C-alpha cells in the first residue's frame, strides 16, 4: 500500500513539475496554428485582391470595346475584322480550367456558366470566379464577376435591380446552393474590402461595372448562404 501511495505521490509531483512546460508547449503550438491560418488567409486575400485589380483592366477593356463599336473610325473596325483565324482560335483556347458551376438569378433572368478565373476570355463567355476566393458553397467569400452589356438581360446587365431578400442560386455538378441577398452597394474599383470573408460564414459577392457606359465604379451584391 505504501508503495502505491509513494508512486502516486511521485506521479503527482512530476505532473506539477511538468505542467507549466506542457502548458507552454500547447500554448505555443496553438499560437503557431493561429498564425499559420492567418498567414494562409492573408495570402489568399492578396491573390483575390490581385484578381480584383486585373478585373478592373478587363472591365476597362469592355468599356473601350463598346465605345469602339459606336465611335471608332471604320478603318479601325476593318483592321479588327481582318484578324487571322489563328488569333481567334488562340483566344478561344484561353478559357481557363473550364466551367465550375452555374449561377441563376430568376428575378433578373440570369443563367450563366461560372468559369474558373475572371479573365477577359472567360468573361466573354459567362461569369468568372475570382482567383483566390473559395468555390461557392465553401466557407469564406466567393466572388463572382460578370460584364454588363447594352443588350437587355445580358450577363449582369440588370444586377442593379437586385435588392435585399432576393435569392441567388449557384449549382455545381453535385450541389445546389441558395443565397439570400443582404446588401447592395457601389464602390471604387480598387476597393478590396468587398472580398473580406470569414471561415465562419459562407458569403457570395457578385461584382460588375457601373454605370454601364463608363464603368467608373463597381456594383456589388452581397449574399449569405441559406440554412
**164-199 pLDDT, tens digit each:** 999 999 999 889 999 999 999 999 998 999 999 989
209 noted as active-site residue: yes
Give pLDDT, residue 162.
98
User: What is the rounded CA–CA span in Å between residue 114 and residue 101?
Assistant: 5
Reply yes or no on whether the pLDDT at 73 is more than 70: no
Catalytically annotated residue among 64, 147, 190, 217: 147
DSSP letter assigned to residue 165: T
Q: Where are the alpha helices (DSSP H) in the chain?
A: 2-71, 74-81, 85-93, 120-125
Give pLDDT, residue 188.
94
* Cell numbers for 142: 466567393
Average pLDDT of the chain is 76
Q: Model-level pTM greater than 0.85? A: no
The domain made up of 52-225 is a member of CATH 2.40.260.10: yes
Give pLDDT, residue 124.
83
Q: How confident is the model at residue 121 (pLDDT cuts 50, 70, 90)?
A: confident
C-beta of residue 221 within 8 angstroms of C-beta of residue 70: no
Reply yes or no on whether the pLDDT at 136 is more than 70: yes
User: What is the rounded CA–CA span in Å between residue 158 and residue 168?
Assistant: 13
* Cell numbers for 18: 511538468
Lowest mean pLDDT among 76-80, 131-135, 180-184, 212-216: 76-80
C-beta of residue 144 within 8 angstroms of C-beta of residue 103: yes
Catalytically annotated residue among 64, 190, 209, 217: 209
Can you give the residue ranges of every domain in the chain? 52-225
**10-43 pLDDT, tens digit each:** 777 766 766 666 655 654 454 455 445 544 554 4
DSSP letter assigned to residue 161: G
User: What is the rounded CA–CA span in Å between residue 71 and residue 68?
Assistant: 5
Q: How confident is the model at residue 157 (pLDDT cuts 50, 70, 90)?
A: very high
**34-43 pLDDT, tens digit each:** 445 544 554 4
**Virtual CA dihedral for 141, 160, 183, 189, nearest 10 degrees?**
60
147 noted as active-site residue: yes
pLDDT top residue among 6 and 40: 6
Amino acid at each position: 500500500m505504501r508503495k502505491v501511495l509513494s508512486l502516486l505521490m511521485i506521479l503527482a509531483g512530476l505532473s506539477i513539475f511538468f505542467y507549466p512546460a506542457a502548458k507552454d508547449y500547447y500554448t505555443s503550438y496553438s499560437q503557431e496554428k493561429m498564425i499559420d491560418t492567418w498567414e494562409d488567409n492573408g495570402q489568399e486575400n492578396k491573390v483575390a485582391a490581385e484578381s480584383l485589380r486585373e478585373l478592373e483592366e478587363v472591365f476597362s477593356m469592355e468599356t473601350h470595346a463598346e465605345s469602339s463599336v459606336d465611335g471608332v473610325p471604320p478603318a479601325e473596325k476593318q483592321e479588327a475584322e481582318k484578324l487571322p483565324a489563328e488569333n481567334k482560335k488562340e483566344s478561344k483556347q484561353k478559357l481557363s480550367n473550364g466551367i465550375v458551376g452555374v449561377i441563376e438569378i430568376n428575378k433578373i433572368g440570369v443563367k450563366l456558366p461560372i468559369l474558373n478565373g475572371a479573365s477577359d476570355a472567360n468573361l466573354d463567355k459567362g461569369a468568372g470566379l475570382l482567383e483566390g476566393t473559395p468555390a461557392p458553397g465553401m466557407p469564406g467569400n466567393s466572388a463572382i464577376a460578370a460584364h454588363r452589356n447594352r443588350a437587355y438581360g445580358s450577363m449582369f446587365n440588370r444586377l442593379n435591380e437586385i435588392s435585399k431578400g432576393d435569392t441567388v442560386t449557384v449549382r455545381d455538378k453535385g450541389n445546389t446552393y441558395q443565397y439570400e441577398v443582404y446588401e447592395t452597394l457601389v464602390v471604387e474599383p480598387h476597393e478590396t474590402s468587398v472580398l473580406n470573408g470569414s471561415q465562419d460564414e459562407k458569403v457570395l459577392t457578385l461584382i460588375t461595372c457601373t454605370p454601364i457606359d463608363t464603368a467608373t465604379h463597381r456594383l456589388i451584391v452581397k449574399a449569405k448562404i441559406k440554412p
